[in-house]
Amino acid sequence: MKRWGEKRYHSLDYHLKHTYGEKLYKLALNGGMTCPNRDGTLGDRGCIFCSAGGSGDFAGNPRESIRQQIASGKEQIKKKTDAVSYIAYFQAYTNTYAEVSYLEKIFTEAISCPEVKILSIATRPDCLNDEILTLLARLNRIKPVWVELGLQTIHEQSARFIRRGYSLSVFEEAVRNLRQIGVEVIVHTILYLPGETELMMQETISYLNTMDIQGIKLQLLHILHGTDLADYYETSPFFVPTMEEYIAFLGKCITQLRPDIVIHRLTGDGPKELLIAPRWTGHKRLVLNKMNQYFKEQDLWQGKNYKL
Ligand code: SF4
């Protein structure tokens, strides 16, 4: 059996301690950008599950400079931890959807903070043109750059349902381009999209096993107030797993997952005040404890059933 510290999966915490020699804390930042799926370029209502905060409900205040957001983020984290090092995480909306000169300004501001060890950027694969890739390559020589791509699913019918707005080939090109410049790629997936069977979700994992990616986020679909998904759920209620069902399915996904892929997230932690369902995800610590216990009882670990 393979272990990553005390965990049966390749956790981000383990990865950071082994690669950087310490725990790093995320500073969720808001660069004040929007998204082509919201500003009318591709669509004006966004992805069906996306909240008004652009999936960055915990990110900083865009009216503050990046320096100020870093300072207030550090202050908050230090109230609860003895943090010394951080990841500057541009989370809200599409964080490469701006002029390259603006991106250079905000990203440079973030990495110029000595305690920031990594620059992490959440974006869409269709918002990474050559100029932006050149900028990321340059920044990656100063401090490691991670790019987080919201793929969610490989299935075209689900991609259409969630209004993702790009095809799988666009994602593949983005991964190739980012890896060519040495940037680490983290892929965001959503489990239990309406209409997706377990087999379909496992097909997404199998596909990602074949890609040159370094990290994954597994997120259970959250239904948040104010989203089109919430309206859809009200008129056409769809299956939402219980905690036990979710944990059992996570077991299947993780045993199938390539062991070197770092798991950045195993459950969602959306804003409680917006969360309609599943309400149990609000107890993140409990979910993780139960999951670790289940893995132990069932003798599961990441990659147990991974086949080349
Ligand atoms: S791409 Fe991201 S920010 Fe844009 S609508 Fe979709 S989830 Fe929201």
Distance 46 CA to ligand 1 centre (A): 6
pLDDT higher for 308 or 238?
238
- Render pLDDT for 237-291 as a digit per residue (tens, 0 to 9): 999 999 999 999 999 999 999 999 999 999 877 788 899 999 999 888 999 999 9
Q: Indicate whether residue 54 lines ligand 1 (CB < 6 A).
A: yes
Domain 12-298 sits in CATH at 3.20.20.70
The answer to whether the beta carbons of residues 261 and 215 sit under 8 Å apart is yes
Mean per-residue pLDDT, 174-194: 98
- Kindly state the percentage of the chain with pLDDT values over 90: 90
Q: Is the Cβ atom of 46 under 6 angstroms away from ligand 1?
A: yes
DSSP state of 62: T
pLDDT higher than threshold 80 for residue 55: no
> What is the Cα–Cα distance from 25 to 20, expressed in whole angstroms?
12
- What's the whole-number mean pLDDT along residues 282-308? 94
Which atom of ligand 1 is found nearest the CA of 92?
A: 3
Which residue's alpha carbon is nearest to atom 6 within ligand 1?
47
Strand partners for 145: 119
Can you give the pLDDT at residue 21?
Answer: 95
Asked if residue 35 has its Cβ within 6 Å of ligand 1, the reply is yes
Instruction: State the closest ligand 1 atom to the C-alpha of 49, by its place in the atom list counted from 1.
Output: 7
Average pLDDT over residues 51-76: 85
pLDDT given at position 52 = 78
Distance CA 87, CA 111 (A): 9
pLDDT > 70? residue 139: yes
Among 60-64, 132-136, 161-165, 186-190, the least confident range: 60-64
191, two tokens: 């489990």
Asked whether the bond before 278 is cis by omega within 30 degrees of 0, the reply is yes
- Of all protein residues, whose CA lies closest to atom 5 belonging to ligand 1? 46
pLDDT (average), residues 101-111: 98
124 lines ligand 1 (CB under 6 A): yes
| 248 CA to centre of ligand 1 in angstroms | 29
What integer pLDDT is reported at residue 90 of this predicted model?
97
Pocket test for ligand 1, best of 30, 47, 166, 189 (most atoms within 8 A of CB): 47
Q: Ligand 1 within 6 A of 188 CB?
A: no
Of the pLDDT bands very low, low, confident and very high (cuts 50, 70, 90), residue 57 is: low
What average pLDDT does this structure show over 23-47? Answer: 95
> Any idea which of 97-106, 177-186, 269-278 has the lowest mean pLDDT?
269-278
**CA distance linking residue 302 with residue 295, whole number of Å:** 10
Q: What percent of the chain has pLDDT over 70?
A: 98
Q: Which residue among 55, 126, 187, 219 is best mutated to probe the pocket of ligand 1, counting the most ligand atoms within 8 A of its Cβ?
A: 55
Q: Give the type of residue at 124.
A: R
Answer for the pair 267, 287: CB distance below 8 angstroms, yes or no.
yes
* Domain spans of the chain, in order of start: 12-298
Q: What mean pLDDT is predicted for residues 118-142?
A: 98
Instruction: Report, as an integer, the average pLDDT of 212-237.
Output: 96
Our answer on whether the CB atom of 33 is closer than 6 Å to any ligand 1 atom is no
Q: How far is the CA of 152 from the centre of ligand 1 (A)?
A: 11
Instruction: Decide whether any atom of ligand 1 lies within 6 Å of the 222 Cβ.
Output: no
Please report which confidence band the pLDDT of residue 210 belongs to, taking 50, 70 and 90 as the band edges.
very high
Binned at pLDDT 50, 70 and 90, residue 58 comes out as low
Give pairs for 293-300: CB < 8 Å, separation 24+.
Answer: 294/247, 294/248, 294/251, 295/8, 295/9, 295/251, 295/254, 296/8, 298/251, 299/1, 300/8, 300/251, 300/254, 300/255
* Mean pLDDT of the 206-229 span: 97
